[in-house]
Structures are given as C-alpha cells and as structure tokens.
Structure 1
C-alpha cells in the first residue's frame, strides 16, 4: 500500500507538472511542444485511477511510471544527440571555412606566380626582340662599312691607275724596282708607283740600277721627260709606257 501510494503521488505530480507546462505555454501565447503528450498522460492517469482492483490499479500506475521514465531517457538521449550533432556541424563548418581560406590563399598565390611568369616571359620576349633588332642593325652597319671600304679601295685603285698612266707635271722622285733591256739594248725600268719608263735613244746613256732613287722631270719642249740622279749632271730622255 505504501508503494502504491508513493507511485500514485509521483504520477499525480507528473500529471500536474505536464498540465502546468501546457497552461504556461498557452498563457505566453506560444504552442506547447509536448501538449499532446501531456493530455495523453492525464488520460492515462484517469484510466489507472478508475481501476477498482488495487493490484491491477498498482500495476497500471507502475507500467505508466516505467513508460514515462523511458520516454524521459529517450528525450534526454535525443537532446544529447542533437547537441552533439550541432557541435559536430559547427566543427565541420569551422574546418570548411579554414579550408576555404587556405584554398583562396593558394589560388591567389598561384595567380601571382602566373602573373610573374607572364611578366617574365614578356620581358624575355622583349629582350630577345631588342637583341634581334640590335644584331640586325649591327649587321646592316657592318655591310655598309664593307661597302664603303670596297668603294674606297676601288677609288684608290683608280687613282693609282690614273697616276700610273699620267707622267709627272714636275720633278718627281721614284725608286726603281726593276730594270731590263729590250732587244735593241734600250733600258726599261719599273718604278715603285708601277709606272714603266723606256729609254728613247741609245745616245743618251745613264746606267739605271735597281733599288736606287731617281727623278723624272718634264722637258721644256713638247711631251718630253728626262731621268736623272742627284749628284750627276747626266740625264737620259725617257718615255712613259702606256
């Protein structure tokens, strides 16, 4: 009887608590989350109280109490699971945010590297183009220099040829590089400027020797020239071979 009395009192207290929770939720203008469950508990209490047999009534209250205790444990486990799920979700969100930040930093670093490589490639291409243009200008300048040298060499050759073919207009000194005689015994001599002079008359006789300096000067009459040497009064009439 004492156990029945205690169980009945406990169940009655639970029923009153459920009814008060429902009333408080309704008084605040918000729906009670467990309103249907509280009404069901009250109905079950009334059912147990209506049983006339004391043993059957006690068993009804015990079964109801055990069921309510299991429901409390289930709700507590569910609440704990929900808390753990929310904590895990928060940790997952934090990990995702950190990974997203790392990925963004890596992407920015990769983009900077690409821009630097592009700038480096552009700079290398510009340097290569500048080098190519400089080499082309150098080659063009060298070609112009070679052409100018060739023109100068041709000009000198033509001037030397003209000089070789033209007799001196005044007394001019030459070095004899070669001497020989024709079949008539007249001397021929080659000067260091390339001119070849020939003795005109065997009556005029000046012995010409290789490696010595002689002068040739124009005569007073017509197209006449004489060869002689310093320190000697003898001269010999000569003619420039063309």
Structure 2
C-alpha cells in the first residue's frame, strides 16, 4: 500500500507492506524506524486517552492510535496531513497554543463555593449526568481542526471550548457567576456563529457532541437575556405548511 504524508508543502509517498490490522500510528512508527527517521509526529498513550496523535487522515481529523489501516484504505492508499487551522511546526506536528489560549478564556476549571459546615457537597446522579459526557473531552483538537465556523471567523472560540464551558455551567459546585461565563462565550466567543454542520461530532474520538453542547449554551444565553446578533431570517412558523405526503415531505 501507499502512505502519502504531507511534509511541508509537498506529499512524500511511502510504499510499505504491513498487516492491515495495524493502526495508523503503528504505520507512522514503522516508517520512522525502518524507512525515514526524519519523519516527525506526536504520540504518547497509544490508547485514545492523551489526544496527542490527532491528525488528518483521508481528509478527516482522527486519532492515529485509534484508526486502523483496513478502515482507512482508499484504492490501497492512505493520506495523512497535520491538523487544520494550526501553524505547522514540522511534518505532522502543529502549534496548538492559540486554541489553548482560547480555552483559558472560558475558565475551564471549578471555582468552588464554600462547602457546608461539617459536611461536603452532595451531588445528585442526574446532575452528574448533565456534565458527565463533557468530561470525556481529551483536548485532541480534532473538532477544532474540522470546525467550519473557524474557516469563516478565526476568532470563533471553538467546539471543545464551548463543551468545557457547558461542563462547568452545569456543575452546582461552581461559584463563577453565570453571566460571566455567558459574556465570554457570546461577546468574545461568538457562539451564535456555529454553522451546525456537526463536523465536530463526527471528529470526536470519544463520542462527545460539541454541536449539541453549543445549542444548549445558545438556549441558556437566550433565556438569560442575550441576543443572537444574526438571527435566522426564517422560522418554521413562516412556512405555508400543507401537510406531509407519503414520502414524509410537504
């Protein structure tokens, strides 16, 4: 098979013959140790936990340690590129510092309230369930890389940043004022610019759903007096609804 790897402004092709049950990360390690020691990429846990081996595989951002060859071969070829939206340091290694700076803005940490005397915070299971999935985010940047809204506005905060915001808004132990978090995501983060393409959902290797989190945050913002600066021009009530035909359309 042929592995095409973007290195600088060109693609370098490597012809290899390995087990197709190997992961993409194993392929990269094979190329580096057996063919070209100058190939540069990030990797650590090999278990889809650290998120460091995220890269673009056949056009979609994925974790190299999670994807195997057999599911990604197209005409006996695999194309690998560095994550999008980031300056490239070398080969498949990118500078993701700007995305982390955006994350810092949303205060992705708990500012605890004073616990009750002679007690501790008691959290109901349903409350934990409201933010449990958001804690699965491993900051791999795959959603950020595939986000269409960032193609339109580079100052748009980003999918995983909004997911982290919702996680702490839903935590009753957090003492950060709600309006402070909402100010950050609406006035600076431009949350209403989400294009609802759901590319972030497809990209996430942990099953987190950033676009759904963004929609929840938009609703929370609207309920608290914030306005969408670019509201949709049409809504469902504006259509002349004539009923559904046999195919389910009207």
The structure whose RCO (Cα within 8 Å, separation 6+) is larger is 2
Richer in helix (by share): 1
Q: TM-score, normalised by structure 2?
A: 0.19
Q: TM-score, normalised by structure 1?
A: 0.19
